[in-house]
Each structure stands twice: as structure tokens, then as C-alpha cells.
Amino acid sequence: MNKERKMTIFIIVIGISILGILGFNYFDSRINGDPEKIRDTAQILKEKMEKKYDIVIENSEGFYTHTVGYAATLTTEDGISFDAWNRPKDIVDFYMEELWNKKGLDKWGYAEKFIEDVEDITLNIGYREEASRKISQLTKPIEEVKNDLWITIYVDLKQPFREEKAIEIEKGIFNYYQQLLKDNGEDIELIVRHDENSQKQDTGSYMIVRDTNGKIPTIRDIESISNTFFGG
């Protein structure tokens, strides 16, 4: 093989290698985002959120997804973590929802005082209308703004449904729900979910939620709780 042919092959190999590297970097950027832009996004969102809400953010972790684009998970000095998306035309953030989530748990997250074997308590909170998203309301107690919010409390139990334990669980749910009402919890939805069974099958939930007419059922007694059981 003469030198000229060796050089040609060498150039071709180098070219293929370069194209391979460029191609890998392109597809990696499309999937995982540009690392430098991720870092810049984390800093940009940190500054914008601090200014928007007059808060102190201790940590901002940038990330990228194909559906969201460049974004960050931010954590405030009081431990509230929320996501913000750096969209081309506008920034979308979920600070308000996470703040109300924390306030809601502080106000109503005491299910374990009434219900046995509670594994976890979470809230799902969203605004009924975008016009209700007012920064000026964030200093208020959640009970003063709850009519602007959709609020659902989820109580996850450690055990799957068992017939012999049902009455005890239902008593606990009834007492918890009565306390919620005393603590300005009217119109809040409550879902108490049993754990899966050994076959990873759903074993049922008690669901005090709105019907097709938007009405929450009236809970008068333990039998009313039993009537909200679904699944299993």
C-alpha cells in the first residue's frame, strides 16, 4: 500500500471519527440539553424567582427535558422546593402551589392522629382560575384563600384493605374529616388509599370527592364514610 493511499484512508478514518463525535454531541444535546445552558438557566431562574417573590433561594439545580425544555428545581431558605421552566416567551413556575402545599400540610396534615397505619400525607393543590394567582395573597393563611384553590388531601395507608379492620379505619376517617371541617376544611376533597396487596393490585380507597355536579357528599356518620369506598 503506497503512502498516498495510506494517507487517504487515514483522512477518511479521522473524518468518520469527527462526524461520530459531532453526531454524538448533537444527539446528546437534544436528549440531555447543553450543560452550559443548563447551568445558565439555573442561575437565571434563581435571580428571577428571588426578584418575583422577594424570597431567598439557597439552591438551584438546572435540568433539561424534551417536553419542558430548560428548567430548574429551586429550594428556598425555608425548605420549599419548586420547579420553574424557562420557556422562550415566558417563565412558568410552581412556587405558589408549593407554598400553599406546605401551608395546607401545616394546617390539615394531621391524619395520623385519627387514622391507624398512615404511611404518608400529601396534598394536590391548584388554582381554580388563573386570575386568582395573586402574589399579594401569599402571606395569608391558606383557609383565607382556599376558595380560590382546588385542594385534595391524600392519605396513604401502610396496609392493604382488610375487612376485619375496615370499621376501625372508617371511624378514624370520620373523626379526621370532622376535625377538618372544624378547622375550616369545608370543600376540601379527601382520599384515603389502602396499600397494594401482595400481587401489586389496588385494594381500594375511601373517596370524599365531588360528584358530577361538583358537590362533596355530606358525611353524617361512619356509614357515610363506608359509602365512599371504591375499588378492592
Question: What does the pLDDT read at residue 22?
Answer: 43
Distance (Å, rounded) from C-alpha 39 to C-alpha 131? 32
Q: What is the DSSP letter of 196?
A: P
Q: Is residue 132's pLDDT more than 80? A: yes
The percent of residues above 90 in pLDDT, for the chain, comes to: 78
Q: Is residue 20's pLDDT more than 70? A: no
Distance (Å, rounded) from C-alpha 165 to C-alpha 131? 45
> What is the value of pTM for the model shown?
0.82
Is the Cβ–Cβ distance between 101 and 95 less than 8 Å?
Answer: no
Looking at the chain, which runs of residues are DSSP E strands? 57-65, 69-76, 81-86, 91-93, 118-127, 149-157, 189-193, 205-208, 229-230
Over residues 100-118, mean pLDDT: 97
* Largest Cα–Cα separation, the chain: 96
Question: What does the pLDDT read at residue 25?
Answer: 46
Lowest mean pLDDT of 65-69, 107-111, 148-152, 170-174, name the range. Answer: 65-69
Give tens-digit pLDDT for 133-171. 999 999 999 999 999 999 999 999 999 999 999 999 999
Q: Is residue 218's pLDDT more than 90? A: yes
Q: Cβ contacts of residue 162 below 8 Å, gap of 6+?
A: none
Distance (Å, rounded) from C-alpha 193 to C-alpha 173? 11
Over residues 56-65, mean pLDDT: 97
